[in-house]
Amino acid sequence: MNNAAYWIAVEEHLDLRAPHRAVLEYWQPLDLGDAVELRQGDDALWFVVGGAVRAAAALTGVS
């Protein structure tokens, strides 16, 4: 899966209306067929497979 798939999930699940900086960190790739669970915090999103975090996204405000 390429980076665009991660960013689509970030755009769909996090509030991007205010100016922000987004950071996406990858620990392990997501593979086609993985049962991905998205866990969401206020300004964060975790991509979890089988209980293990594979990637995480975080937003911070920009002033």
How much is the pLDDT for 57? 94
Give the start-to-end residue ranges of the domains of the chain: 3-61
How much is the pLDDT for 27? 95
Give the Cα separation of 32 and 43 in Å (integer): 26
Average pLDDT estimate for 3-23:
87
How much is the pLDDT for 2? 72
Q: pLDDT per residue over 30-57, tens digit each?
A: 998 999 999 999 899 999 999 999 999 9
Cα separations in angstroms, 38 against 7, 51, 54, 57: 13, 11, 10, 11
Total-model pTM: 0.86
Distance of CA 24 to the CA centre of its chain: 6
